[in-house]
Amino acid sequence: MDLVIARPQGLYCRAGDFYIDPWRPVARAVITHAHGDHASRGHGHYLASTPSETVLRSRLGDIALQTLSYGESVKIGDATVSLHPAGHVLGSAQVRIAARGQVWVASGDYKLAPDPTCTPFEPVRCDTFITESTFGLPLYRWPAAETVAQDIAAWWQANANAGRASVLYCYSFGKAQRLLAMLERAGPLPGPIFCHGAVEVLNDAYRDSGVALPETARVPLAAARGAAVAAYRQALIVAPPSAAGSTWLRRFGDYSDGFASGWMLVRGARRRRGVDRGFVLSDHADWPDLNRAIGATGAERIIVTHGQVAPLVRWLREQGLEADAFRTEYGGEEEYEGKEEAGSATSAATPAADDAATAGAMEQATTGRPAIGAATSDDDLATRRVPVAARAADGSGDEPVPGTGIESASATGNAGEAGEAATRDDGRPRGKTRRSPRGNA
Ligand SMILES: [Zn+2]
Ligand SMILES: [Zn+2]
């Protein structure tokens, strides 16, 4: 009997009578992490990891919250439940459920790449592994995070030398703090760091949780306009994506802007953002790491929840594993950020919509036809924008967006690489062989 099933409210464990990251109000919720698509309001009781508490409370307010340290277990009904690091954001956890002689693990979102602001992903042996697949296509391969941090620092330094502010867009919970911590490790900072209020409130939550971050100040400065512009000239300004194109930016005078996201690997997404620089940095596993993580669980059955669901299911079946999908409402942290930022920054272009178009387009391309390596021009996508209303109907991006083709991976400009990648040895799940994840030493 299945320990976890998909219900209209969320993923449900009958043995313990609780839900995992439910999207509709339920009596008992086990929360993997505090991103808006996983942690919602209105549940009777919450169980989450101890390190997630400060952020969870800052986002959800006064909730009935029970916390568990990583590795600590608790009996809920007939199920034994424990939480294990997922390496995604501060406090992110995989949920391990043992009952009726089986072990199931639900991953939530995860990554294996290094992140100084959270506990590294820990492989957990199980019979069935419920996994995300946000970047579950062979073309998604991240550059080393340290290299990306150095690229950002070099861009900031060049701007500072030219007397120009550096505005960096990234998701305010997780990515912003990871970037700040990585920049401090990359070398001496070229100037001061200012953060949009939506970012700064999370910086505070991280610091309250004991995570060391470089010094930051909240925008706006309480100085006269001329003096403020001068202060910003050497500065890095970290802002949520919804600030792009808004009047909020006028205070900085002359500036260069960049965007840090896994989607920046996709040339069309970067172009449509209209930013000067795209930095490829994601808090989700790339294709090789998805396969590594899945292999390390030793699970013979895999259930995919969100992202590139159909391609990953097909690939896993080809590897001889039992693979299925759960229909969920997870996906698109940016979607929730957009909602949160709606009052503080307005943008006619709604940049977050572009990522949904990209995700939807790729889903369409991969489910509608098998040609992962057959990239078409991204020009048709470049002129395409998804209205906010249409985007809401798109949901997480799992629904195909009609009339679009796949985009090419731009890291090397070699779209053919994506096709070859599927047969590379290091991209293969390892079945029962336990492998330690890369970069967590
Ligand atoms: Zn997340
Ligand atoms: Zn998510």
Separation in Å, CA 105 to CA 7, 293, 335, 418, 438 = 17, 12, 26, 29, 20
The domains of the chain, with CATH numbers, are 4-140+283-332 (3.60.15.10), 145-276 (3.40.50), 350-422 (no CATH)
Choice between 9 and 427, residue whose per-residue pLDDT is larger: 9
Separation in Å, CA 265 to CA 26, 61, 280, 374 = 38, 36, 6, 17
Q: How confident is the model at residue 229 (pLDDT cuts 50, 70, 90)?
A: confident
Residue located via tokens 């391309």: 365
Does the pLDDT at position 406 exceed 80?
no
Distance between Cα 33 and ligand 1 center (Å): 7
Alpha helices in 342-378 (DSSP H): 352-368
Asked whether the beta carbons of 303 and 323 are under 8 A apart, the reply is: yes
Torsion over CA: 348, 379, 399, 411 (sign):
negative
Alpha helices in 167-266 (DSSP H): 175-186, 197-208, 225-232
74 vs 441: CA distance, rounded Å: 29
Distance between Cα 228 and ligand 1 center (Å): 35
- Of the chain, the percentage scoring pLDDT greater than 90 comes to 69
Asked whether the beta carbons of 65 and 54 are under 8 A apart, the reply is: no
The number of beta carbons lying within 10 Å of the beta carbon of residue 127 is 16
Q: Which ligand is nearest to the CA of 35?
A: 1
Q: Which residues contact 286 (CB under 8 A, 6 or more apart)?
A: 113, 135, 140, 141, 142, 262
Distance between Cα 129 and ligand 2 center (Å): 16
Does the pLDDT at position 179 exceed 60?
yes
pLDDT of residue 389: 32
Distance between Cα 359 and ligand 1 center (Å): 16
Distance between Cα 178 and ligand 2 center (Å): 17
Distance between Cα 108 and ligand 2 center (Å): 7
**What is the 3-class SS of 307-326, one letter each residue?**
ECHHHHHHHHHHCCCEEEEC
Tokens of 322: 């039992």
Does the pLDDT at position 164 exceed 80?
yes
Distance between Cα 108 and ligand 1 center (Å): 7
Distance between Cα 436 and ligand 2 center (Å): 23
Distance between Cα 262 and ligand 2 center (Å): 13
Distance between Cα 430 and ligand 2 center (Å): 25
Q: Which ligand is nearest to the CA of 92?
A: 1
Which residues hold their Cβ within 5 A of ligand 1, which is an ion? Answer: 35, 109
Q: How confident is the model at residue 332 (pLDDT cuts 50, 70, 90)?
A: low
Q: Which ligand is nearest to the CA of 335?
A: 2
Does the pLDDT at position 410 exceed 90?
no
Distance between Cα 135 and ligand 2 center (Å): 12
pTM: 0.78
Distance between Cα 263 and ligand 2 center (Å): 14
Does the pLDDT at position 400 exceed 80?
no
The number of beta carbons lying within 10 Å of the beta carbon of residue 395 is 15
Residue located via tokens 């009609």: 402
Does the pLDDT at position 390 exceed 80?
no
Tokens of 164: 């120009």
Phi-psi region of 189 (alpha: psi -120 to 50; beta: other; left: phi over 0): beta
Q: How is the beta sheet containing 45-49 ordered, strand by strand?
A: 4-7, 10-13, 18-20, 28-30, 45-49, 65-68
Alpha helices in 103-165 (DSSP H): 145-161
- Read off the pLDDT of residues 257-297 as tens digits, 9 standing for 90 and up: 999 999 999 888 888 888 999 999 999 999 999 999 999 99
Distance between Cα 330 and ligand 2 center (Å): 5
pLDDT of residue 271: 83
Among the listed residues 319, 312, 325, 324, the one whose alpha carbon sits nearest the alpha carbon of residue 429: 319
Distance between Cα 120 and ligand 2 center (Å): 17
Decide: helix, strand or coil at residue 337.
Answer: helix
Does the pLDDT at position 94 exceed 80?
yes
Q: How confident is the model at residue 432 (pLDDT cuts 50, 70, 90)?
A: very low
Distance between Cα 35 and ligand 1 center (Å): 5
Q: How confident is the model at residue 364 (pLDDT cuts 50, 70, 90)?
A: very low
